[in-house]
Each structure stands twice: as structure tokens, then as C-alpha cells.
């Protein structure tokens, strides 16, 4: 299993617009072969910090699916719509792999 975790900082005053844009993105993802993402908000820390995550079978699957999605106009339009509400340069991807503790 591979978990794709993404940290976003939403522009001040645009939180509700970001949520609507994220809903549109999540609705478009399956048509491009991608999973929907869960959305989390921090209770403490940075203002308007939002985390999104989804599970994939592997890092290779994640890369393959997102690469293929680049050609899916609806998904990429929704992705750009969501990005319009994020502070430029603030998005951070965290590729997470589980640790076997035995």
C-alpha cells in the first residue's frame, strides 16, 4: 500500500471556495482512473492548513495514474480550479509507505 498525503495552505478568505473546488476535483478524479481524496483540516498550527490523502497500491501506480490523468481535461480543469485557491508554492506532497513492525 502507498498513501499519497498532500498539504495545502488555502489563501485567506478562500476556504469555502477551496472546499467547493476540491469537491469538484474529487467528483472528476474517478473518471480519470484516480481515487477520491479524503480532506482533513488542522485544529492547531497554520491557519487554513488542509491535508488531503488517498491510498494507492504502490508508488508506481500513483505515478502511472497521475501521469495518465494529465490527458483528462475535466480532471485537470478541476485540479487547476482547486489550485487557484492555494497559496502559491505552499503545496507539499508526502509519499507515505507503511512500516512493518513485525
Query: Which residue ranges form the domains of the chain, and what is each CATH number?
Result: 2-49+57-96 (3.30.70.100)
State pLDDT tens for residues 15-30: 999 999 999 999 999 9
Q: Is the pLDDT of residue 69 over 90?
A: yes
Asked whether residue 96 carries a pLDDT value surpassing 90, the answer given is: no
Which residue, among 48, 62, 85, 43, has the nearest Cα to 1 in the 3D structure? 62
pTM of the model: 0.89
C-alpha cell at 33: 482512473
What pLDDT score was predicted for residue 95?
86
CA 88, 77, 21, 14 dihedral sign is: positive
Amino acid at each position: 500500500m502507498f498513501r499519497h498525503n498532500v498539504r495545502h495552505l488555502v489563501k485567506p478568505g478562500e476556504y469555502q471556495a477551496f472546499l467547493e473546488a476540491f469537491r469538484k476535483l474529487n467528483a472528476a478524479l474517478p473518471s480519470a482512473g484516480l481515487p477520491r481524496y479524503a480532506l482533513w483540516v488542522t485544529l492547531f498550527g497554520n491557519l487554513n492548513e488542509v491535508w488531503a490523502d488517498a491510498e494507492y497500491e504502490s508508488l508506481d501506480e500513483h505515478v502511472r495514474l497521475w501521469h495518465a490523468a494529465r490527458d483528462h481535461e475535466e480532471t485537470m480543469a478541476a485540479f487547476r480550479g482547486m489550485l487557484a485557491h492555494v497559496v502559491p508554492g505552499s503545496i507539499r506532497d508526502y509519499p507515505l509507505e507503511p512500516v512493518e513492525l513485525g
